[in-house]
Amino acid sequence: MNPWQRSLFVFTAATDDQRVQQLQYSLIENQILRAKLPQRITVTPQERRRLLRFGKPLGAAIRQLITIVSPQTFLRWVRQEKTVSKPARIGRPRTAEDIRLLVIRLATENPTWGYDHIHGELVKLGLASICVETVGNILKAEGIEPAPQRGQGTWHDFVNRHAETLWACDFFTQKIFTMRGAVDCFVFFFIHIQSRRVYVAGMTTNPTHAWVAEQAQNFCRHVTQEAVKPTHLIRDFDGKFGIDFDAALAAQDIKVLKVGPRRPLMNCYAERWVGSIRRECLNHFIVLGERYLRYLVDQYVRFYNIGGRPHQGVGNVPLAKPDTPPPPAIPSTKNIIARKRLGGLLNHYYHRRAA
C-alpha cells in the first residue's frame, strides 16, 4: 500500500471532526514543504512546534499522514517535548502565566484580532505590563498564526459559528417505474444544519431552472415560520441551479454559498441525509410512479422530523418531542409498544400510557 492509499484509508475511516483535524494538519505540512522545496527540508523549532500542535491530536493516524519527516522522528519530537527541561532564561523575567494564558485565549476566541488589538484589550483590562512584541512572542511560541492566517479559519469553524442560521440544499435521484418505462425522478430538499430538520421542496422528472427557482420561493415562505431566520444556504455547482434561484434567496437576505466540485464534506449534512433516506427507506421498495415516491418520502420525512427517530448528530434524541406518552419515572421493559410506518419498516417505540 503506497502512502497515498494509506492516507486515503485513514481519511475515509475517520469521523467528521477527525477529518477536519487531519486536513488541517496536512495543510500546515504542505505549506512548510512548498516553502522549502527544492532545497533540503529542515524544519525550524517554530515549524516543529506547529507540526506537534496539529499532529498530536491525530494519535496513531499520524503514522499514515506524515511525510515531511519519518513517523519515528515525529514520535521522538513528542518524547523530547515531554522530557526535555527548558534551560534557565537570562534577562527579563518570563511573563506571568495567567497573562500568557489570557493572551492565548484572546487570540483563539477572536481569530481576526491582530497583535495590536490584543494588546489594546489588555491595556483596557489594566494589564499594560507587556508590550505588543511580547504578545507576538507568546503567540509564536504556541504556534498560533498571525491574524490574517488565523482569521481564515476552517470550513468546520464557519459551519459551527453559523449553524443556527445555516441551511443546505441538494438533489437526489430515484428511479421510478411508469407506463413509459423507468425514469429518474429528482427530489429537491433543504436541511437545517443545527437542528437537522428536513424540508422537501418538491420532486420532478424535469428540473428546469424555473421549477428550481419556484422551490426556492416555497422554501422562503416555509422558513418565515422559523423562530430564527436563515442567513446562509449551502449549495453545489449543479447546473440545475440558475440565477433566478440565487435571486429568490437574495431577496430574503439569504447568502448563497457555492461549494465544490469534488468536496462532498462541505455539504456533508445534505449528503448524510440522502444516505439515510436511501438506506432506511427507498432501497427497500420498487417505486411505481411519482405519486408512490411522494408518499414514501413524505412518510420518511415525518418519521425523521417528528416521528420519534433518534438522531446521532444531536445526541441520539428525536428532533421533536413525539406525540406519545413520556417514559415513566422508573422505566420498565413491560408495556412497550411500537408505532409503525410503511408496514413496520419505520418504527417508533414508547411506553403504553398507564391506565
Please give the chain's pLDDT, 355 residues, in tens: 555 456 555 555 566 677 777 777 776 777 677 677 666 667 888 888 888 888 888 888 888 777 777 888 888 888 888 775 555 556 667 788 888 899 888 888 887 788 888 888 888 888 877 888 888 888 888 877 776 655 556 778 788 888 999 999 999 999 999 988 999 999 999 999 999 999 999 999 999 999 999 999 999 999 988 888 999 999 999 999 999 999 999 999 999 999 977 777 889 999 999 999 999 999 999 999 999 999 999 999 999 998 788 877 777 777 777 777 677 777 777 778 888 889 889 888 877 775 4
pLDDT at residue 120 in the model:
86
pLDDT at residue 99 in the model:
87
Report the distance separating Cα 108 and Cα 289, nearest Å: 54
Domain annotation covers residue 91: no
Residues 246 and 117 in one domain: no
| Contact assessment for residue 311 and residue 194, using Cβ atoms and an 8 Å cutoff | no
Residues 206 and 103 in one domain: no
pLDDT at residue 12 in the model:
59
Report the distance separating Cα 28 and Cα 309, nearest Å: 40
Residues 174 and 214 in one domain: yes
pTM (two decimals): 0.61
pLDDT at residue 22 in the model:
75
- Phi/psi at 78 (nearest 5 deg)? -60, -45
Query: Rounded to 5, what percent of the chain is helix, strand, coil?
Result: 50, 15, 35
Domain annotation covers residue 311: no
Domain boundary among the residues 111, 135, 153 is at 153
Report the distance separating Cα 77 and Cα 144, nearest Å: 19
Domain annotation covers residue 62: yes
Domain annotation covers residue 255: yes
Domain annotation covers residue 28: yes
Parent domain of 141: 97-153
Residues 300 and 199 in one domain: yes
Residues 116 and 17 in one domain: no
Residues 43 and 180 in one domain: no
Domain annotation covers residue 244: yes
Strands (E), the chain: 166-178, 181-192, 198-204, 232-235, 255-258, 336-341, 346-351
Residues 302 and 165 in one domain: yes
pLDDT at residue 115 in the model:
85
Report the distance separating Cα 111 and Cα 146, nearest Å: 9
Domain annotation covers residue 126: yes
| Contact assessment for residue 340 and residue 347, using Cβ atoms and an 8 Å cutoff | yes
Domain annotation covers residue 344: yes
Alpha carbon distances (Å) from 72 to 31, 69, 285, 337:
21, 8, 52, 56
| Contact assessment for residue 172 and residue 202, using Cβ atoms and an 8 Å cutoff | no
Cell of 185: 425522478
Residues 105 and 41 in one domain: no
| Contact assessment for residue 309 and residue 303, using Cβ atoms and an 8 Å cutoff | yes
Q: Is 315 exposed, middle or buried (0-12, 13-18, 19+ CB in 10 A)?
A: exposed
Domain boundary among the residues 43, 59, 83 is at 83
List residues bridging with 255 in a β-sheet.
232
Cell of 1: 500500500
Residues 302 and 324 in one domain: no
Phi-psi region of 316 (alpha: psi -120 to 50; beta: other; left: phi over 0): left
pLDDT at residue 152 in the model:
56
Q: Is 138 exposed, middle or buried (0-12, 13-18, 19+ CB in 10 A)?
A: buried
Could you tell me the CATH number of the domain that includes residue 168? 3.30.420.10
Alpha carbon distances (Å) from 39 to 3, 33, 36:
22, 10, 6
Cell of 51: 507540526
The length of the chain in residues reads 355
- Total domains in the chain come to 4
Strands (E), 110-242: 166-178, 181-192, 198-204, 232-235
Residues 36 and 132 in one domain: no
